[in-house]
């Protein structure tokens, strides 16, 4: 009778089991370690309210361009970005519009003679409320959320008025 020699020995079995246990321990210890280093990349910046001035400073009926700085935190990156908002009073209500054209992202300016916002890039026109009145823009200008605290005007992120999302 021929004996078949087996490569499977007790010593080989114990080596494989030990290597498997060490691999499992390394994997289990590695999950929190990896998530610690990777998770900040998936955290988006929170909606921050930015103070742009005293409420009584905005009694004008014509839009006033207000420059402000906001800090953006994206993962490990922190940077300060300068932005602008068009702020004015309409029918007793304060309105803050984003100056970014919804066509291709150019910056709109306010034309006092025509009482409208004009995009210099492709001729987009918006009325004083930010609604499209001419040209290629597909949507109205975004409006900033507004909040009042201790006599100060604070604005949030601009909101897309056609779908209700930022």
Per-residue pLDDT of the chain (166 residues; tens, 9 = 90+): 555 556 678 888 899 999 999 999 999 988 888 887 777 666 665 667 888 888 888 878 888 888 888 887 776 778 888 888 888 888 888 889 998 888 888 889 888 888 888 888 888 899 888 899 988 888 899 998 888 888 888 888 888 877 544 4
Q: From the CA atom positions of the chain, what is the Rg in Å?
A: 29
pLDDT score, position 30: 87
pLDDT score, position 47: 63
How far CA 78 is from CA of 44, 69, 75, 87, 162, in Å, comes to 11, 13, 8, 27, 31
pLDDT score, position 160: 83
Q: Is the pTM of this model over 0.75?
A: no
Single out the residue of 142, 112, 106 nearest to residue 124, CA to CA: 106
pLDDT score, position 109: 87
């Amino acid at each position: 009778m021929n004996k078949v020699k087996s490569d499977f020995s007790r010593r080989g079995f114990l080596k494989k089991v030990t290597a498997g246990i060490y691999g499992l321990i390394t994997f289990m210890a590695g999950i929190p370690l990896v998530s610690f280093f990777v998770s900040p990349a998936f955290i988006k910046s929170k909606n921050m309210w930015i103070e742009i001035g005293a409420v009584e400073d905005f009694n004008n009926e014509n839009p006033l361009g207000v420059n402000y700085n906001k800090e953006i935190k994206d993962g490990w990156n922190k940077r300060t970005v300068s932005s602008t908002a068009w702020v004015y009073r309409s029918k007793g209500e304060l309105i803050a519009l984003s100056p970014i054209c919804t066509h291709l992202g150019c910056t709109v300016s306010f034309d006092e003679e025509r009482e409208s916002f004009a995009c210099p890039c492709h001729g987009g026109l918006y009325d004083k409320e930010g609604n499209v009145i001419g040209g290629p823009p597909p949507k109205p200008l975004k409006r900033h959320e507004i909040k009042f605290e201790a006599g100060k005007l604070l604005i949030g992120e601009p909101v897309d008025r056609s779908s209700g999302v930022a």
